[in-house]
Chain A
Amino acid sequence: MIEGRRLVMANFWVAVVAFGLAAIMAVMQALARADAELAIRSTKIYYVSVTAHGVLMALVFTTFFIMALGYFSLGAALKRVDTTTWGWISFLVSLVGTILATLAILSGSSTVLYTFYPPLKAHPLFYVGATLLVVGSWIWCWVMIRTYLVWRSKNRDEAVPLAVHGMVVTVVIWILATAGLAVEVVGMLLPWSFGLVDKVDPIVARTFFWWFGHPLTYFWLVPAYVVWYTIIPEAIGGRLFSDRLTRVVFILFVLFSTPVGFHHQFSDPGITSGWKLLHTVTTYAILFPSFVTAFSVIASFEVAGRLKGATGLFDWIAVLPWKDPFFASVALAMVTFAIGGFGGAINAAYAMNTMVKNTSWIQGHFHLTVGTAVALTFMGFSYWMLPRLTGYPVRLRALALAQPYTWFVGMMLFSITSHITGIMGMPRRVYSAAFGGSEVAASWASLTVVSAIGGVVLFVSSALWLVVLIVSVLGEKRPERPAIEFARPLVPVSGSAGLWDRFGLWTAVAAVLILIAYAYPIAHLLALPRFASSAFQPF
């Protein structure tokens, strides 16, 4: 029994419920885009569901799952969580926030999509809910940091276990990222939605949003990497490629995750091209640790294959456990992420971005990255974690195995067609892509049908995951549980990790980088003669 087991499971189940609701929202959107005639299809329902899908998947599912993974890593690797009381307070605050925001969205009063760009104005409860979700996650950060510090004070010279290293990095990224969000929501949107100020500047708000919005993706990704580096190699009988290299990779994410936001604002007025170029360079810098991850995790797979007796150039691939749903999830997530990564390099490209900006290419891209690399890893991890934490063995093994493969097929159909229609110019987030019978729009039509089929397959896969989880916990518990073992590196770690465990130092360096990347452009924006905008609720 590990420390904080109940906290892990509570957060995990909220993530699962959010995922289920969001999946229902998604299938309707895919069908609407293909102009399918549905009884419940209306613009109002469509945009409500786009908002709900985005918030529940990208913010609620991920945040709760990552909080669960954080407690899991600390509880299993350090055998402690200090303190579980604050852990429960964090859980409740986040949960109340989630419920408030979800109600605000479903009532139709807050159809502002998950980016909530002003001057679109949501109901105040939406912002209050989002704020509470983040405040709850900050309390989680505090529990994580405190647990780490207590452990550190008792183990002065030891390298922190790698999984904990990754989770501390996740916490640091989250704190640096949400600082931008806090300024936007608390400083601008909350007072505005309560009517205390009557105008906001949309470009200033967007700048703070993307200060948060891109590091957010590393807040999703680093925990998935924790699973890739520290769990899966052991689970398939392999070895972690290099402990030291992994720590360097994690620290690079701390340094470079924040000063990258402008690649979301390449087409914005009010920001000079010089700053956009600087962010381009730092955005490419952050591709580096992802590339290294691809190489080193695949190397750990190869080691596993060779330990199983493979000797040829590629036969180690065949002997990998493709019938294990956990391994299949992670392996397919990695394949998908490689494709998503190349698309991301285009999004981040200073001048090429304009070809894909706000087209369906973007939705194709993030469904490969967060929607598959992260979400599929998390789903696969749940098959591994559930029996170890709760004693419930995974039942319906055949469905559990079908789940990652259907997800992969569905996502390929959905995302590849979205990339293609994006290149052809189809905008994202439109209820109908018919554009009054326009000729170009007609050329997208057959592809949107393929992508709708992908959406349906994805929905089936989501349902499989939920069914497997629910049926598993309705079954009988086993008294003996599989051991929780983290991956051992190829070369054993000797002594302390020294420099790469100095989180305070790296956080300070990252803060300086953020200052360099944002202080001047924000000052420049604020110095312009500004005419902020009143609120609009066209929904």
Chain B
Amino acid sequence: MWTATFLLVAFVLAIVVSATVSAVHPPSHIETIDPAVVRTESEFSRPGVIEDEHGITVVVLAELYRFAPETIRVPAGRPIRFRVTSPDVLHGFQIVGTNANVVVAPGYVSEVVTTFPEPGEYLIVCNEYCGLSHHLMQAKLVVESTP
């Protein structure tokens, strides 16, 4: 019993400390958007990579059964902010082999920030069941080396 107590206290402390001190948090962005207009009247009507004074942002639309854009090119070694939403059902946005993995819900904007240290190609999949062709919903992320 004491072993159990000790282990649990150690686990919980490790998590709470990493959350509060090193600010390791799961993606918890709070922002709503009207799913009826995302295709026409929002930044998601022009999905793609944007570089401005805030850094690099990738705007992604996840819809039945595709991601737009289908190929995303970003530089290695810099923080990338992905902004994703859906005009229809729930989707998942998972960059396989990385910690970018977020639920995408109509009515909400999901954000996930991550850095890809090495150049290479990554598979992006939808990991939240969305309908009959769920398994076909994918995109490609190309991380390019920065000169």
Cα–Cα distance between A349 and B17 once the two chains are bound (Å): 12
**In the complex, are the beta carbons of A47 and B129 less than 8 A apart?**
yes
A427-B92 contact, Cβ under 8 Å, with A267-B102, A435-B123? yes
- Is B64's beta carbon under 8 Å from chain A? yes
Residues A271-300 near B (CB distance < 8 A): 271-273, 276-277, 280-281, 284-285, 287-288, 291-292, 295
Instruction: Give the size category of A's interface with B.
Output: 35 or more
- Is A172's beta carbon under 8 Å from chain B? no
Residues of A within 8 A of B (CB): 43-44, 47, 50, 111, 113, 117, 119-120, 201-203, 206, 265-273, 276-277, 280-281, 284-285, 287-288, 291-292, 295, 345, 349-351, 353-355, 357-359, 424-425, 427-433, 435-436, 438-441, 528-534, 536, 538-539
- Is B125's beta carbon under 8 Å from chain A? yes
Give the residue among B11, B107, B128, B134 with the most A Cβ atoms within 10 A: B107
**In the complex, are the beta carbons of B35 and A533 less than 8 A apart?**
yes
Give chain A residues whose Cβ lies under 8 Å from the Cβ of B109.
Answer: 269
Residues of B within 8 A of A (CB): 1, 3-5, 7-8, 11-12, 15-16, 18-19, 24-36, 64, 88-90, 92, 94, 96-97, 99, 101-111, 121, 123, 125-136, 138
Pick the contact of A431 from B102, B107, B110, B134 — CB < 8 Å? Answer: B134
**In the complex, are the beta carbons of A202 and B28 less than 8 A apart?**
no
Cα–Cα distance between A535 and B11 once the two chains are bound (Å): 41
Pick the contact of A47 from B18, B35, B132 — CB < 8 Å? Answer: B132
Cα–Cα distance between A295 and B97 once the two chains are bound (Å): 36
**In the complex, are the beta carbons of B28 and A273 less than 8 A apart?**
yes
CB closest residue in chain A, given B122 = A440
Cα–Cα distance between A360 and B130 once the two chains are bound (Å): 16
Question: Distance in Å from the Cβ of B90 to the closest Cβ of chain A?
Answer: 5
**In the complex, are the beta carbons of A435 and B132 less than 8 A apart?**
no
A269-B29 contact, Cβ under 8 Å, with A350-B19, A355-B101, A357-B101? yes
A539-B30 contact, Cβ under 8 Å, with A268-B105, A288-B4? no
CB closest residue in chain A, given B107 = A531
Question: Distance in Å from the Cβ of B119 to the closest Cβ of chain A?
Answer: 15
**In the complex, are the beta carbons of B92 and A350 less than 8 A apart?**
no
A203-B105 contact, Cβ under 8 Å, with A285-B8, A349-B15, A350-B19? yes
CB closest residue in chain B, given A268 = B103
A-B CB contact pairs (8 Å), 20 listed = A44-B132, A119-B90, A202-B107, A266-B26, A267-B103, A269-B29, A269-B103, A269-B105, A273-B25, A280-B15, A353-B26, A354-B27, A354-B101, A357-B127, A424-B96, A430-B134, A430-B135, A433-B135, A435-B123, A539-B132
Give chain B residues whose Cβ lies under 8 Å from the Cβ of A277.
Answer: 15-16, 19
Question: Distance in Å from the Cβ of B59 to the closest Cβ of chain A?
Answer: 15
Pick the contact of B129 from A113, A267, A425 — CB < 8 Å? Answer: A113
A351-B25 contact, Cβ under 8 Å, with A47-B132, A268-B105, A291-B7? yes
**In the complex, are the beta carbons of B26 and A530 less than 8 A apart?**
no
Give chain A residues whose Cβ lies under 8 Å from the Cβ of B26.
Answer: 266-267, 273, 276, 350-351, 353-354
Give chain A residues whose Cβ lies under 8 Å from the Cβ of B108.
Answer: 203, 269-270
Cα–Cα distance between A536 and B131 once the two chains are bound (Å): 9
Give chain A residues whose Cβ lies under 8 Å from the Cβ of B15.
Answer: 277, 280-281, 284, 349-351
CB closest residue in chain B, given A50 = B129
**In the complex, are the beta carbons of A271 and B125 less than 8 A apart?**
no
**In the complex, are the beta carbons of B107 and A43 less than 8 A apart?**
no
Cα–Cα distance between A529 and B142 once the two chains are bound (Å): 35
**In the complex, are the beta carbons of A531 and B92 less than 8 A apart?**
no
Question: Distance in Å from the Cβ of B71 to the closest Cβ of chain A?
Answer: 13
**In the complex, are the beta carbons of B101 and A440 less than 8 A apart?**
no
**In the complex, are the beta carbons of B4 and A273 less than 8 A apart?**
no
Pick the contact of A530 from B8, B32, B64, B128 — CB < 8 Å? Answer: B32
Pick the contact of A351 from B24, B29, B32, B88 — CB < 8 Å? Answer: B24
Question: Distance in Å from the Cβ of A440 to the closest Cβ of chain B?
Answer: 5
**In the complex, are the beta carbons of B29 and A358 less than 8 A apart?**
no
Give chain A residues whose Cβ lies under 8 Å from the Cβ of B136.
Answer: 436
**In the complex, are the beta carbons of B88 and A436 less than 8 A apart?**
no
Cα–Cα distance between A357 and B125 once the two chains are bound (Å): 12
**In the complex, are the beta carbons of B28 and A43 less than 8 A apart?**
no
**In the complex, are the beta carbons of B28 and A272 less than 8 A apart?**
yes
Question: Distance in Å from the Cβ of A115 to the closest Cβ of chain B?
Answer: 8
**In the complex, are the beta carbons of A538 and B36 less than 8 A apart?**
no
Cα–Cα distance between A186 and B23 once the two chains are bound (Å): 39
CB-CB nearest 10 A-B residue pairs: A538-B131, A425-B96, A427-B127, A291-B4, A358-B127, A430-B135, A531-B34, A266-B26, A269-B108, A273-B28
